[in-house]
Amino acid sequence: MKRLVFEPEHEQLRETARQFLEKECAPNVEKWESERLVDRESYVAAGKYGLIGFNLPEKFGGGGVDDFRFNAVIVEEFSKFGSATPGLSLQNDIVGPYFVNLANEEQQERWLPGYITGELIGAVAMTEPGAGSDLAGIKTSATRDGDDWILNGSKTFISAGINSDLVVVVARTDPEAGHKGFSLLVVERGMEGFTRGRKLDKMGLHSQDTAELHFENVRVPATNVLGLQGRGFYHLMHNLPSERLSIAISAISGARETWRQTLQYAKDRKAFGQSIGSFQHNRFLLAEMDTELDLGEQYIDRCLQAVVDGDLTAVEAAKAKWWCTELAKKVVDACVQLHGGYGYMNEYKVARDYVDVRIKTIFGGTTEIMKDIIGRDLGL
């Protein structure tokens, strides 16, 4: 089914993304997988291809185009390729909007030029060892000391935790103010007292560095407060729908590519004198997956159009996030089964897809949290 949401300029960026993946990422997959880290140089290369900051101001080197369909194109192509890529979704869809929407002129002049070239890598530090989906349980705190904030606490499961240079840290700046007591502080690489813990040994997404971060009496200048003091929780809520839509897009696109490769395998692989795809059960299974992926893609495209129109709601993004990620998990699992024993071998991409997809129903808000958002909207 033809996708009507994209224009020719979006398809041009899609081709650029494919060229980047083929030239800059494909030769490094095994290296990055074994080292559990993508080279920082790959971010700089992505900047040269124009894949970072196309949605950031032109005067700092960005593209100046606020059109989430460009974000979607990059997410789709990177998801098809696999996880051994620089984390551009994090840079474009999650961190970038904080800087463009909340940073003042002086902050943008300091950070955006290097961010757009890929020389500065961003991260967002929300999750703590004792506070995951419950953001109100965050204990990391900052107290004012003259022109600085003194930051103390720890974060975990932080994407780009090793490579990051600019970390947007969620901290409690007023312990008596409840949801109005959180602020966002940008901690920069090299600040005294800012240390990185272990690079976490994950089940999947091996090339994507995820780490613990520790802050011990880190002196953060007040000029590094992002957005309004005491409005950190609301700033987070504003950005979460686009993050969740991005995850939904990656889930459907990645699962579609896994399905496509499995379809070809089912045509080529023979058993009992015929292709395994010709058996009725397998044929029906592949047909069901194709249909469900089409339906998921159509909802994604409707959400993309809603972003363009400026009316995507948090509830619609939650629906996309939970349903598409659960579908992706189901599809990839079925594809492993269709590969038989070969599906368990890491030399087959379907095996890596299987462990990579599992996190998608968890990060960015679990399936259960998404359903709760939807249920509350129903007045329940």
Point out the residues that are catalytic: 243
How distant, in Å, are the alpha carbons of 10, 15, 125, 190, 380 from that of 165?
30, 29, 12, 8, 42
CA 194 to each of CA 167, 168, 169, 247, 266: distance values in angstroms, whole numbers, following the listed order: 10, 13, 11, 29, 51
What type of residue sits at position 187? Answer: V
Pairing type for strands 141-145 and 148-159 reads antiparallel
Positive or negative CA dihedral for 301, 307, 312, 316? positive
| DSSP 8-state code for residue 163 | T
Digitized pLDDT (tens) for each residue of the chain, 380 residues in all: 789 999 999 999 999 999 999 999 999 999 999 999 999 999 999 999 999 999 999 999 999 998 999 999 999 999 999 999 999 999 999 999 999 999 999 999 999 999 999 999 999 999 998 877 677 789 999 999 999 999 999 999 999 999 999 999 999 999 888 888 999 999 999 999 999 998 899 999 999 999 999 999 999 999 999 999 999 989 988 888 999 999 999 999 999 999 999 999 999 999 999 999 999 999 999 999 999 999 999 999 999 999 999 999 999 999 999 999 999 999 999 999 999 999 999 999 999 999 999 999 999 999 999 999 999 999 99
Q: Are 215 and 152 in contact (CB under 8 A)?
A: yes
Q: 291: how many CB neighbours lie within 10 A of its CB?
A: 10
Find the angle CA(242)-CA(9)-CA(290) to the nearest 5 degrees: 65
Per-residue DSSP letter, 202: -
Reported pTM: 0.94
